[in-house]
A and B are shown apart, each in its own frame.
Chain A
């Protein structure tokens, strides 16, 4: 497994072109942001549940997603027979959109897990969040006035952005299954709540859970 290194490509418009790289059985972004993230999530659920029982608390499992999930139409949602296989196909991979798609898949997975899979009530609160657009997201190399404006005026400091992570980690049961933004429960992208989105969400979780079961047989029993 290679340590990846990326060339800095400064584009005048649009999002950076990510290079396609594989890690484990998927494209790198999908492996790290989606598969491994939920592999870890399901693997630590028993420990979280034990803490809940022993200390009479409700621990939190937090996935840091992003508002960039609004920015994608997720065209891969209609791929047959498998969404993940299509995402992993190098020749058709849209790497400009890949980060956005990975963040959308995180939102889908948290929602499906909490809405349909996890029994209610549950001793652990599972939520996801958007940290907002932070200084750590911006490069010093951007010289255009537009980016100067964004950096000086709009971008939050990283410390301010981190408050959203802290809030989600300490939030109550009312945030279970929710997407949070600016430390409060917020609406997800229109696609997510739509009929199309619900179908995509189901398919994504079905494929993801099958993948996880292959990586760690019996893992779904952790829920």
Chain B
């Protein structure tokens, strides 16, 4: 169980500290976000697209869901041809190796945000995988 001071600090930050809205340009950049079909990964990918990234790659287990996410992001940010979806299953080492090989083939890679994994989606719920 977290100590009282850790809890107090957490509550303070949640209440009073708001991370700044990102404004730094991503023009010309290629950025990968894993676990990006929903949640934090999705919203982060959307920011990168909004900030002008040349290419944003969503690494997800479900290509179907990732494609929907990609379409939604491009629609909301009024851009096209920016978001790609690549399959990635972190429960399978071969999938990880295949994904990395694809990354090797990119002209450039400016950032990779490893967001995918077993996520405690609900504090009082069984962990769920993105």
Q: A residues engaging B (CB < 8 A)?
A: 1, 4, 6-11, 14-19, 23-24, 28-29, 31-33, 35-37, 39-41, 43-44, 46-48, 50-51, 54-55, 57, 59-64, 66-68, 70-71, 98-99, 102, 131-134, 136-139, 142, 147, 153-156, 158-170, 181-183, 215-216
Quick check: is B19 within 8 A (CB to CB) of the other chain?
A: yes
| Known pairs A1-B92, A64-B113, A160-B18; A137 contacts B106 (CB<8 A) | no
Bound: A84/B42 CA distance, A: 31
Residues of chain B whose beta carbon lies under 8 Å from any beta carbon of chain A: 1-2, 6, 10-11, 13-15, 17-22, 24, 26, 31, 33-34, 38-44, 46-48, 51, 88, 90-93, 96-97, 99-100, 103-104, 106, 108-129
Closest beta carbon of chain A to B102's beta carbon, Å: 10
Given A17-B126, A32-B129, A163-B20, are A170 and B111 neighbors across the interface (CB < 8 Å)? yes
CA distance in complex: A10, B123 (Å): 9
B118–A28 CB distance below 8 A = yes
For chain A, what secondary structure do more than half of its interface residues adopt (helix, strand, loop), or is it mixed? helix
In the complex, the answer to whether A51 meets B108 with C-beta atoms within 8 Å is yes
Which of chain B's residues have a CB closer than 8 A to the CB of A169? Answer: 31, 44, 48, 111, 113
What is the bound-complex CA distance between A14 and B10, given in angstroms? 17
Residue of B nearest to A102 (CB): B118
16 A-B residue pairs with Cβ-Cβ distance under 8 Å, sorted by A, are A6-B126, A18-B118, A23-B91, A47-B109, A64-B40, A68-B120, A98-B127, A132-B14, A139-B122, A158-B43, A162-B44, A163-B22, A169-B44, A169-B111, A170-B24, A182-B19
Q: How far is the CA of A174 from the CA of B47 in the complex (A)?
A: 23
User: Using Cβ atoms and an 8 Å threshold, which residues of chain B touch A17?
Assistant: 126
Q: Are A154 and B110 CB-contacts (below 8 A) given A8-B126, A32-B116, A215-B93?
A: no
Tell me whether A133 and B40 are in contact (CB under 8 A): no
- A46: which B residues are within 8 A, CB to CB? 104
Report the Cα distance A59→B30, complex, angstroms: 10
Do residues A159 and B114 form an inter-chain contact, with CB atoms below 8 A?
A: no
Residues of A within 8 A of B103 (CB): 43-44, 47
Residue on B nearest A63 in the bound complex, by CB: B114
Docked complex Cα distance between A33 and B117 (Å): 5
Q: Which residues of A contact B112 (CB under 8 A)?
A: 40-41, 44, 48, 59-62
Q: Which residues of chain B are within 8 angstroms of A98 by Cβ–Cβ distance?
A: 127
Collect the chain B residues with CB atoms within 8 Å of residue A160's CB. 18-19
Indicate which residue in B100, B126, B128 contacts A40 across the interface (CB closer than 8 Å): B100
